[in-house]
């Protein structure tokens, strides 16, 4: 009999890759999707188009506790992957209340629903490296103190603590993946990696000439999203729940990313990139770099796609989407 998985945030980058992975493993996949995401099926970049006929959708919002409870009760999932949330750090500064509601309060309601279920459910929570803030120790691992510097990070810390509480107090098989930045051609265009690769493609296509960015010196640990959802799956296959840092162990600056992406099409990044004060966050994290040793030792997980390979994959996809037959160097 097939396992049943319920994925909240299934229309996002991670949700779409995870749904593909679980379907390939023979799961019955259900997805929570908001009404405005359902409208996206008309868009050319709709992430679930190739697999939507194999998914049962449940239209609603995770901040609606009655919807969450009734959906879980009707689906009776073996596994729940909570990938829903307000995922943009910058936007959290302008809308902290909603960020807290969807990224923290909704998680508490989900855990309560799982705890009250009459059958065993394994729960995955999407935690984030943003919880570390400007950490004193580098690289960061599962024991690094959490010092968030944004409403997004604060809400994710609260949710992370909810998971630990329900796991320790009630014995739930609840795990949190502390995922560092992970990217792909399906990354939203408002995130810096896609701003850059899509911007380069648009410059090649003569649609624009400048890419305005924020802090070019910020360094992040960037990995490839399809590999990171494999780690999510592996966490829920373990006999015991736990928290895992999922990262590459390397960090690169936004400037490095720009330099490499432009070099792939033979252009000088300095002629096309500006750093705009208006795009700077009230509080920026200088560097994040993860230590995935525990994931490697316990889950057998480690990244394969390199930073440069990932950028090349993303840029090639953006060039293709614009019908630009540019050969990458």
Please list the active-site residues. Answer: 128, 130, 152
Strands 122-128 and 79-82: parallel
Instruction: Measure the CA angle with vertex 198, ends 194 and 200; round to 5°.
Output: 120
**103 and 61 in contact (C-beta within 8 Å)?**
no
Preceding omega of 139 cis (within 30 degrees of 0)? yes
> For helices 65-75 and 106-116, what crossing angle results, to 10°?
40
The torsion of the CA quartet 105, 191, 31, 82, rounded to 10 degrees, works out to -40
User: Cβ atoms within 10 A of the Cβ of 288, count?
Assistant: 24
List, in order, residues 6 or more apart from 143 with CB less than 8 Å away.
Answer: none
């Amino acid at each position: 009999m097939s396992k049943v998985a319920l994925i909240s945030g299934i229309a996002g980058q991670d949700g779409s890759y995870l749904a593909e992975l679980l379907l390939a493993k023979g799961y019955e996949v259900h997805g929570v999707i908001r009404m405005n995401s359902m409208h996206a099926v008309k868009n050319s970049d709709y992430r679930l188009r190739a697999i939507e006929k194999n998914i049962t959708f449940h239209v609603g919002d995770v901040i609606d506790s009655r919807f969450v409870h009734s959906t879980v009760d009707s689906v009776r999932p073996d596994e729940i992957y909570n990938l829903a949330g307000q995922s943009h750090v910058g936007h959290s500064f302008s809308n902290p209340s909603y960020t807290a509601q969807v990224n923290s309060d909704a998680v508490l309601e989900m855990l309560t629903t799982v705890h009250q279920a009459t059958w065993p459910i394994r729960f995955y929570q999407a935690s984030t490296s943003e919880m570390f803030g400007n950490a004193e120790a580098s690289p960061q691992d599962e024991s690094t103190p959490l010092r968030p510097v944004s409403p997004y990070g604060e809400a994710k810390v609260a949710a992370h603590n909810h998971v630990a509480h329900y796991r320790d107090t009630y014995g739930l098989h609840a795990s949190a993946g502390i995922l560092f930045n992970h990217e792909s051609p399906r990354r939203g265009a408002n995130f810096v990696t896609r701003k850059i690769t899509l911007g380069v493609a648009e410059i090649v296509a003569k649609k624009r000439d400048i890419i305005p960015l924020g802090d070019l010196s910020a360094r992040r640990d960037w990995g490839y999203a399809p590999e990171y959802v494999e780690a999510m799956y592996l966490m829920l296959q373990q006999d015991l729940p736990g928290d895992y840092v999922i990262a590459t162990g390397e960090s690169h600056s936004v400037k490095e990313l720009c330099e490499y992406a432009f070099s792939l099409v033979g252009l000088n990044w300095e002629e096309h990139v500006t750093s705009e004060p208006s795009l700077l966050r009230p509080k920026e994290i200088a560097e994040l770099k993860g230590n995935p040793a525990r994931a490697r030792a316990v889950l057998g997980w480690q990244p394969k796609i390199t930073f440069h390979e990932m950028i090349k994959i993303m840029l090639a996809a953006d060039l293709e989407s614009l019908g630009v037959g540019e050969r990458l160097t």
